[in-house]
A and B are shown apart, each in its own frame.
Chain A
Amino acid sequence: MTKKKVLFSDMTLRDGSQSLWAMKMTYGMHQVVASEIDQAGFDYVDLPVNAVNFKMWVRFFQEDPWLISQQFKEKFTRTKTMFPVLERIDLLGEAEPRAVVKRWYDLLVESAGATRHYMMCNSRNELDRYYPWVIPAVRERGLEFSPCICFYPSPRTTDEYYANLTRRLVEEYQPDQLWLKDAGGLLSLDRIRTLLPAIQKEAKGIPIELHTHGMSTYQGLVVVEAMKMGIDGVHTCIPPLASGSSHVSVFNAMHNARMLGLDHNITNVEALEVVEERLMRIAELEDLPIGKPLEYDHGVYSHQIPGGVISNLKSQLTQLGIGDKLDEVLDEVVRIIEDLGHPIMITPASQFIVSQAAVNVATGERYKAVLDSMIETALGVWGWEDAGVPWMDPNIRDRFLSQPNTRLLRKKYERTKEIGEQEGSVEELRKQYGLTGVSEKEFFMHHVMNGDAELKKIQPPKTYYTGKEPLALLLKELSKHQDVSRLQLRKGNSVFDFRRN
């Protein structure tokens, strides 16, 4: 009898880097690990090819995103790759006509060579609002499509809710795979035992992949339980970009699959070990964090803010002059979640709520100053049912909607909707920008970066080491020790003599 096989997909470069290294993976870092990841046998590799990563590369590293994207295409020759899509280019940017967004998809696919797209379906009512045109556009391009079913525990997100959502997805869109996406790392052992069968029943044989972060600390157990229950795929990362608020380590997942008597798709463990060693070296040299399992914090089930974010939050609160009021802010987050009707706590809603909580504590009065994003939430900009609007406290909603800014924000939202419903053309936008003579890639970068000031600073990418150039490593280490005035080394006939005045 053939053993059941679980398929692991790699999230290291996109979600691992986002969860633990704040997207600080550069061209050179990808260069020394991509081919090795390609050899491991993964089902899919998720690529950091999207407007947010593009902005990071330009703004913080002065690197050319198209070059990085192209590198993925060159290095991933065996493994299929994927990246996310949205109904616009940048969620927090201006809306574009649909033809512009579709051309953006084309350029990303052409440059990175991905064959699968994924998109959340229940964080901003995407299923009703955007799927009807985005999914056919993805299909027309011959791409596979995976909707992401976002898990978030709340009074209304019952197993029945998820079953109904799955049924709709399957009936209306016949996806190639389904993701069970636990971005908050909030799946418990009890919940996966009832939730997964509810989704499996409605999936009608469409493969389901588990995408779960590590905040609740149940991650390893949840993955094992899901594998026992016949999950088809699990998303993993390679250490040091695994664990913590990231995904389960591929090494741990492989081990546990074996313990359960399951086959898996990883065929080249040595390649993964090389990747781990190189990433560890990079982490050490660049002072980047190494993912470790978190300690249990019961707060993740109330304020829903992962430990990794809390340390960042602390420094932000200090800037606001309320560095000593972290606990008050976390309590306020819980109250705002209730006020808003339990929105799905995924970006951007989670960021809005944390920021408003900080404002409420800083001003000493709830909603004395209301952030625009709260008003937008009440207007439905960020979804309707998914954003909790029908269950929002009516008094608070009235308060948000009677702010002086509301009229302007409503107007902006209506304009955004109008633009997003137009087919339009790339040529029209080019004319509008006065950019008819530049290449398409230049034009889109101009659009993403809101001008060309930062694009002018792009430099050739810095290459990295593979961890096998000891002299370069020693010199790099020496650069951190500014008061070492001299280091001499002799080995056999080789002499190394470093001096600093």
Chain B
Amino acid sequence: MSFEIDDVMEVLKIIRECKDAELHIDTGDMKLSVTRGKVSSSGAGFFGPASTAPSPVPVAAVAAADSVEAPAAPVARPPKADQPAPTPKAEVAADSASEEGLVPVTANVTSVFYRKPSPEEPAFVEVGDTVEEDTVICLLEVMKCYRQVMAGTRGVVQKICAESNHLVEQGSVLFLIRPL
């Protein structure tokens, strides 16, 4: 029976569902021992117990594979600026809108809130900035399309209520502005 590395990989996939299992295959020419989960007291495999088995070559091979051979893991790498981690809705200051005289700017659609035009640039506005009605104060993104949000009120930015690069739900308060 011919037994190649590809067959070993198939074996690994097949026993994926098994828990705390051991498998020993001996085809004469080739021997394979796999331990999944806990090793039993008799689970010494072909080459002795795990605690005593020498393994200089495999360790070196692992190191080489990690540093040289292994390809990048693209799917595992999170994007940065343009795909923020979804988080719960913005910290809506439920009571803040009722703070006397402050005008809330809300998200009119569930979207991702951005305080900066791009990751490298400064925020559109900071607390304490004076804004005009048509001052752009943030961006909302829906599926890679954007909507500039304007202050809508002439005043001073009193509070920023949502976290940049995070999802905000429809109706969430983004800013509180004290009218001038």
Bin the interface of chain B by size.
Answer: 35 or more
Q: Which of A197-205, A363-371, A413-421 contacts B (4 or more CB under 8 A)?
A: A363-371
- State in angstroms the CA–CA spacing of A488 and B152 once bound together: 69
* Distance between Cα atoms of A187 and B24 in the complex (Å): 55
- Given A282-B71, A472-B69, A489-B8, A483 contacting B109 (CB threshold 8 A): no
Task: Write the A271-306 contact mask toward B (1 if CB under 8 angstroms, else 0).
Answer: 000000000001001111000000000000000000
Near B by CB (< 8 A), chain A positions 477-501 give 477-479, 481, 483-492, 495-499
C-alpha gap A80/B8 in the complex (Å): 41
A497 touches B47 (CB 8 A): yes
Interface set, chain B 40-54, CB cutoff 8 A to A: 43, 45-47, 50, 53-54
Which A residues lie at the B interface, using CB under 8 A? 24, 26, 28-29, 59-61, 63, 282, 285-288, 313, 316, 319-321, 351-352, 354-356, 358-359, 362-363, 368-373, 404-405, 407-409, 450-451, 453-454, 462-465, 469-479, 481, 483-492, 495-499
Can you report 29 residue pairs joining A to B where beta carbons are below 8 Å apart? A26-B74, A28-B72, A286-B73, A286-B74, A319-B167, A320-B143, A321-B110, A321-B169, A354-B143, A363-B170, A371-B146, A373-B146, A404-B134, A405-B147, A408-B150, A451-B118, A465-B69, A472-B65, A472-B69, A475-B61, A476-B70, A481-B16, A485-B37, A487-B32, A488-B31, A495-B57, A496-B61, A497-B47, A498-B62
Known contacts A371-B142, A405-B150: A484-B36 contact under CB 8 Å: yes
Select which of B3, B38, B71, B77 is within 8 A of A29 by beta carbon.
B71
Give Cα distance in the complex from A47 to B160, angstroms: 45
A-B pairs with beta carbons under 8 A, tally:
207
Binary contact track B149-180/A, C-beta < 8 Å → 1, others 0 = 01010000000000000010110000000000
Q: Are A483 and B46 in contact (CB under 8 A)?
A: no
Q: How far apart sit A287 and B13, CA to CA, in the bound complex (Å)?
A: 14
B1 contacts partner chain A, Cβ-Cβ < 8 Å: no
Residues on B facing A (Cβ under 8 Å): 3-6, 8-9, 12, 16, 19, 29-39, 43, 45-47, 50, 53-55, 57-58, 61-62, 64-65, 68-75, 77, 79-82, 86, 108-111, 118-121, 134, 136, 142-148, 150, 152, 167, 169-170
Asked if B69 and A59 sit within 8 Å, CB to CB, the answer is no
Known: A351-B144, A369-B147. A471 touches B61 (CB 8 A): yes
Provided the pairs A358-B143, A495-B57, A497-B58 are in contact, do residues A484 and B79 lie with their beta carbons within 8 angstroms? no
- When C-beta atoms are compared, the residue in chain A nearest to B135 turns out to be A408
B47 touching A495, Cβ below 8 Å? yes
Which residues of chain A are within 8 angstroms of B19 by Cβ–Cβ distance?
483
Measured in the bound complex, the distance between the Cα atoms of B35 and A12 in whole Å is: 40
Cβ–Cβ contact B77 & A474, under 8 A: no
